[in-house]
Amino acid sequence: MGQKRPPLKLKVIRNKDKTKEIASLNQQLGLLDLKVVQVTADGNCFFRAVSEQLEGDEEEHSKYRKMVVDYLQEHREDFEPFVEDEVPFDDYLKNMREETTWAGHMEIQATSLVTRTNICIHQLKTPRWHFRNFNTADAKTIHLSYHDGEHYNSVRRQDDPGDGPAKPIIIEGDATPATKPPPTKSLVKDKSRDVEAAAIKRVMGGSGCTNETRAREVLRDVHGDADAAIEYLIAELASGDASSTGSDESDPGSSAATGDQSRVSEKSTSDERTESKRSLISCTASENGGGNANSNGLSASSQSVDRNKPCPCGSKRKYKSCCGTSKTRITPTHLSRFAIRTSSH
């Protein structure tokens, strides 16, 4: 593999079977209609992958290595503070000019700047890593994949024959420069649905989750933050939670039961509302109106109650201070019962 440089500090998932790991990543990328294009693993893989992206030929890697190291040298003041292990900058550059020396963070950043492209790095079950230095509408993006903390490959569209520079890849939901005016109000609803669908697709592609319903739930729980949803689902998958990989199909029997419960609940709610109205009418009957029956009932009951005893209406007041002084009083008990019932609907 050549002389080793500190690898990119992204999440490293070690896989003994690299063929299986690439197959799994291909399946993940397939949700985005993308594929891995493998390059030679000889210590030049980063520059080979960049060359494959920009020219369709990985054998031009030496040219891009030279371009990048020259850029580092010309912008010494920007990069020298980031050299690790207190290695003198000149020694660092000399080492980087040698074939098979691995590229690190600085080389990726310098590659983005010298080629005037943004860089997107895909990994298995991990959010994409972006190096964004250009926000213009015509800015190109190089797409690479990173494997086992030690190897880069190129990533292309599935319909890209690979006979030249990589075809542009547009991933809905990724941050991109605005190139169109704001949508009219009539288009906002449809647009929001499209954005959600794109975000769900991005979350599924970035996390490896195959359950669209679960992806949608998590995305809404984190208020549309796709990166947060991806990280949550990755953690969920790692913990072995089946909800991220389960089927979206529901049990018909369960649905029927839910429907029956809903109808029972609606009937119960309707009965409670009717009872509430009757209770309120009973305790607000007018002396001169249609509440005579209730008033008479109250009077009949009151005839057997001593005026110094607790009133049977439930107010906890003495009869002479409550219903004994008026035939039409709304009691605290009635009001509290009505409030409880109405607040639950």
Q: So which residues are the catalytic ones? A: 42, 45, 151
How far is Cα 61 from Cα 69, in angstroms, rounded to an integer?
Answer: 12
Single out the residue of 87, 4, 90 nearest to residue 42, CA to CA. 4
Within 8 A by CB and 6+ apart from 29, the residues are 35, 36, 122, 145, 155, 205
Strands, E assignment, 96-150: 117-123, 126-131, 140-147
Q: What's the distance, Cα to Cα, between the start and end of the chain in Å? A: 69
The DSSP 8-state label assigned to residue 318 in this structure reads B
- Please tell me whether residue 36 adopts helix, strand or coil conformation: strand
Tokens 């072995």 -> residue = 240
